[in-house]
Structure 1
Amino acid sequence: MGYKLNLENMNLALNELKKTYKIYAPKVFVGAGTFSDTDRVRYGEIESFEEIEFDKKSSFSYKETILPTRQTLFFFTEDECKEAEVDERPALIFLRSCEIHSLKRIDDIYLRNGFEDIYYKKMRERAKFVLIGCEKSFENCFCVSMGSNKTDEYNAYIKVDGQDVYLDIKDEEIENIISSIEKEEKEVKPDFVTENPVKVNIPENLSLEVMKSTMWNEYNERCITCGRCNFVCPTCTCFTMQDITYKDNKNAGERRRVWASCHVDGYTDMAGGHSFRKEKAQKMRFKTLHKVYDYKKKWGYHMCVGCGRCDDICPEYISFSTIINKLEDAMNEVKNND
C-alpha cells in the first residue's frame, strides 16, 4: 500500500517502529572521516528521521548491521562451552537496490552453500529492509551494468521530497505498526537509476586463461594490500577466527569471528609456513575473477553488484570498474600469445 506523510508524521511512525525494531540507516558521523575535520557517512542506529542521509552514498555498506565486524561466537572455560547470546530485537535496515542484491550474495555464502551458518541466520531472520530509491547515479557506481539497479525484494520503500515522505509498504507487520499514523493513500513507485556514467563490459569469452595476462603485473606496484576495498564491499564475506584468553584465567576465553580480506597479508597463511597468493597481483587477480567469473559459474549471477565503494575508498586510486574493462584486452592478449 502506498502512502504520503509529512515529516512530522513520519517521525511519529518511526517512533512506533522503534518500539519493535532497531533501526539502522546511513547517517553522518561527524569528525569520523579520513581526516580529522571531515565526516563519514556509514550505517548506524538512528533515533530520528532527520538523521538518515538520503543524498550521499555511505562509505561502508549496510553489511556490518547483520554481519558484525567482530562477533563473539561462544565462550569457553576448562569445563564448558557456551554459545554467545544474540540480541533478540529485530532490525529494520534502510538500504539501496544494489545492496538488496548484495544481500542475496551473502545469503548464498552463509545459508545456501552446503550449510547454514547459525550465527548469521539468527541475525538475518530478524531483519527487514526499507528500500531507498536512487534518482541519479552516485560517483563510481556501475549498478546498471551489473543488473542490480532495480529490485522488488523489499519490505517497504521510502522517498523524501521536500517536506513530504512517500512510502510503499509490502510488509503486513510494518503496515499494522504505523496504522494509527495520519497519512494519505497514494500510489508510490520506487525510483531506480537507469544509467550510470561508469559502464563495464565483462567479456563473453572470459575464462581462467586470463590469469596468464600481463595486465595483473601493474598491481604489484600500485596495490598496497590494505584490504579497504574488501571491507567496504557489500558482497565480501571472508573472516578469520580469533581465540581470546583472559588474563585472569588463561583456560577461559572466547572465540570471535572477525572480518578478513583476501588482499591483506597473512590471510592465506597455513600451518607449516605455507602461504598462497603472496604477490599483490595474484591477490587482485583472485578478487577480480571471484567477483565476475567463478561466482557466476556456480550461482548464475555475478558477485559484484556495482556499488563502486571499492573505487571510492582505494587510497591508490585503483578502479575496479577499470580492471573489469581491461579483461577483454587481456583475453585477446592471451589468445594471441597462444
Structure 2
Amino acid sequence: MGYSLNHRETDALFDRLAAEYKIYAPKRFAKQGRYSDTDIVRYDEIHTAEEIVWDKKSDFSAKEVLTPVTEPIFYFTEDEYRESGAPKKKILIFLRPCDINAFEHQDRIYLDNGGFCDSYYQRMREKTRFVLMECTEGWDTCFCCSMGANRAEEYSAAVRHTEEGILWSVKDEELAPHFAGCEEVDWQLQFIEKNQFDVKIPEIADKETLAKLKKHPMWQEYNDRCVSCGSCTLACSTCTCFTTRDKIYSENAMAGERRRVHDSCQIAGFDAMAGGHGFRTTPADRIRYRALHKVHDYKARFGDYHMCVGCGRCSARCPKFISFPAIINKMSAALEEIAAEASK
C-alpha cells in the first residue's frame, strides 16, 4: 500500500512509531568531518524528517546501529559476570539497497557461520526492520550495479523523498496500522540501473590461477600508498572483524566490563600469533587479502554472491585515495595476463 505524507505528517508518524521503535537514519553532524569546517554523515537516532540526509551517501554504514564501534558485552566482578542488556524497543533503519544487501552478508557471518550464532548480533537483528530509501542516481564512488546490489527486496517499507514530503510503500503488516487515515497513492519504487563507471569482476578459475594472482606484481604499488590505517574497513558495510578489550574500573581493580571493538585486517598486527609470527606483514599483503576476500573467497565459501556490495565508502574514506573498484579492475587485468601467459 502506498501513502503520501508531507513533512509535518511524517513527523507525526515518527511520534507514533516512537512508542514502539527507535528510528535511525543518515544524519548530518556539523563541523565533525575529516577536514576543518566539514560535516560528516553517519547513522544516528532521528525524531523528525528534517534530520534525514537524502542527498549524500553516509560516510559510515548502517552496521554501526547493530554492531557499534565499541559495544559492552558483559560486566564482571571478581566472582561473577552479567551480560549487557538487550534493546527494549524495536529498531527501524532508513537505508539504501546496497546497505540492505550488506546486512544479508552480516547475517551470514553472525547468524549462520558454520553453525555458530552470535547472540549479541542476533538480539539486535531480531528487533530490526528496514526502510528502503529509493536510490536512482548514486555517487561517484558507487559501483553497486556491477556487484548486483543495486536492488533489494528484504524491507518493511520503502520511501521516496520529494519537495512536498515522503512517499511511503508499506509491506510489513506491523507498520500498516500507523498509516491509518493517511492519503493513499500509487507509486512505483525505482532503482539505479547504471553507475558512473563499471567494474569488471574477476573470475578465478582454479587454485593455480589464484596462486599466480597472489604473486602478481600489481600488489606491490600498495606498499608505497597504503598506510594501514583501517579506515576502509571501518566504513565498509560488510566487514565484521572485531576484537575484545577489558576496561577495568579504577575504583575497583577486580571489576570492569568486556567490550567488543571493531578491528581491521588492514592494520598491522591484526594477524599476530604467539611467538611473533604474522601472515600478512606488508600493506600489499593486507590489501591483497581484503580484495580477494571481498570478490572471491566469500563467494567461493558460500556459493551465492560476492561480499562487496559496491557502496564505495572504502574509496571515499581512504586518506591515500586508493580506489577499491580500481583494485578490482586491476585484478581482472592481471588475470587476463595470467591466462595469456598460460596459453603460450
Task: Determine if contact 2:200/2:328 at 8 Å carries over to the other structure.
Answer: yes
Q: Does 1:208 align with 2:192?
A: no
Q: Select the residue among 301, 305, 308 that pairs with 1:301.
A: 305
Match of 1:134 in 2: 135
> Which runs of structure 2 are paired with 1:77-226 in the superposition (5 Å)?
77-113=77-113, 114-179=115-180, 182-205=181-204, 207-209=209-211, 210-226=213-229
- Give the superposition deviation at 1:189: 2.1
Q: Work out the CA distance in 2 between the residues paired with 1:276 and 1:327.
A: 21
**For 2:249 and 2:51, how far apart are their aligned partners in 1?**
39
Q: 2:242 aligns with which of 233, 239, 242?
A: 239
SS in structure 2 of the partner of residue 172 of structure 1: coil
Alignment of 1:260-279 (within 5 A): 260-279=263-282
In structure 2, what residue type is equivalent to 1:27?
K
For 1:205 and 1:124, locate their aligned partners in 2 and report how far apart those are by CA, in whole Å. Answer: 34
The one-letter code of the counterpart of 1:148 is A
How many angstroms does 1:188 deviate by? 2.5
- Computed over aligned residues only, the root mean square deviation of the Cα atoms, in angstroms, reads 1.3
- Which 4+ stretches in 1 moved above 4 angstroms? 335-338
Shift of 1:80: 0.8
What CA distance in whole angstroms lies between the structure 2 residues aligned with 1:78 and 1:337? 63
| Deviation sequence 1:28-60 (CA, Å, 0-9, x none) | 101111123111111111121111011110100
Q: 1:251 to 1:337 in 2, by over 3 A?
A: farther
Q: Which residue of 1 aligns with 2:289?
A: 286
Q: Deviations over 1:77-119 (max 9, x none)?
A: 1111211112221111000000000000000000010211000
TM-superposed deviation, 1:335: 4.4
Contact between 1:213 and 1:333, CA under 8 Å: does it hold in 2?
no
Other-structure match for 2:46: 46
Question: How many Å separate the matches in 1 of 2:254 and 2:278?
Answer: 30
Task: Give the Cα separation in 2 of the matches to 1:205 and 1:78.
Answer: 52
Amino acid in the other structure paired with 2:316:
D
Cα gap change, 1:191 to 1:336, in 2 (>3 Å):
closer
Larger mean CA deviation between 202-211 and 65-74 belongs to 202-211
Query: Using the alignment, how far apart are the partners of 2:138 and 2:82 within structure 1?
Result: 47
Distance 2:175 2:183 in 1: 16
Letter aligned with residue 132 of structure 2: L
Report if aligned partners of 2:23, 2:46 keep a CA contact under 8 Å in 1.
yes
Contact 2:3 2:167 in 1 (8 A): yes
Structure 2 counterpart SS, 1:249: coil
After superposition, the C-alpha distances for 1:215-257 in whole angstroms (9 at most, x for unaligned) are 0000000000110000000000000111222222222221111
Q: Indicate conservation of the 8 Å contact 1:213/1:331, yes or no.
A: no
Identity of aligned residues (%): 47
- Pairs within 5 Å for 1:27-46: 27-46=27-46
Structure 2 unmatched ranges of 5 or more:
none
One of 316, 322, 328 as aligned partner of 1:324:
328
Matched residue of 1:177: which SS? helix
1:337 offset after TM fit, Å?
5.7
The equivalences for 1:66-85 within 5 A come to 66-85=66-85
Give the C-alpha shift of residue 134 in structure 1: 0.8
The DSSP-based 3-state class of the residue aligned with 2:44 is strand
SS of structure 2 residue aligned to 1:292 = helix
* TM-score after normalising by structure 1: 0.96
Q: Which amino acid aligns with 1:90?
A: K
TM-score (norm 2): 0.94
Give the drift of 1:320: 0.3
